[in-house]
Amino acid sequence: MLPAYITHHDCLLHDMGEQHPESPARLGAVNDQLLIHGLLDYMHAFDPPLVTQQQLTRAHDDAYLDNFAQTGANVPDDGYVQIDPDTRINAYSYLAAQRAAGAAVMAAELVASGKAPVAFCNIRPPGHHAERAAAGGFCFFNNIAVAILHALDTQGINRLALLDFDVHHGNGSEDILAGDQRVLMCSSFEKDIYPFCGEVPKATNMINVGLPSRSGGKLFREMVAAHWLPALDAFAPEMIFISAGFDAHREDDMGNLGLVEADFAWVTKEIVAVANKHARGRIVSCLEGGYELSPLGRSVAAHVRVLIGAD
């Protein structure tokens, strides 16, 4: 039984323009580093299905879903539709978003059922800024929230944790999951940058820790040890999901926390330890941010190496 690696060509088709940091090349950078480090030899690759409407409606409002589908269907083949100042879609964005969310759902099913011990989804568009009724921050469907609610409703999981170490707070995941006592969400992020929220949690099942600019790996690790780990031990999740964003890397100009590959490997090791203690090792990790291709690929390789036990 090998760890699952889930990706799809459709995720490359979404494009927001040549100069946009959330580019199709991100997936290739990740795949190349996993291949170079030999990590794909230890994983089983899966082609995900498209997400279903029923799966999406657990996380998103019907009116929002209908509007996105209609907008996506009317984009010219060689054009774009602007969603917000930083986010736009092309003619294939709706398909890519369906495939990315479908990958997260497949990962949840594989891991919950014991068909894979852990899963990593190399997918885009990312998801953790997508709220129940709004896109934003390069995100359209909240992949991880869709997968979490699917696991809770259909896979016999009663209690799970979402851990988000992207440099930007997962406001969309918080919007969807706040108040759902089946879920503990722990988020670390840089303060005073997009989406300019998170320091005041929306509900008691949210552990949000904003970090100051240039705080570095030492403070990040101290934060995880002081805030995340005790809450996770008390909650004892049956399964863990990770919004794996790597834009907190010191070479990524989307943020300024100053983390390096060793910090991502360290936090992954701590998450694996929690999963082994409480969740039979079951972890689903989905790619979120990370926009400088070289540090993104290296950081994902460091994360996956620990996640699949190849270190």
Q: Name the residue with tokens 């990524």.
A: 252
- Annotated catalytic residue, options 60, 129, 168, 278: 129
As a whole number of Å, the end-to-end CA separation of the chain is: 18
169 has catalytic annotation: no
* Residues designated as active site: 129
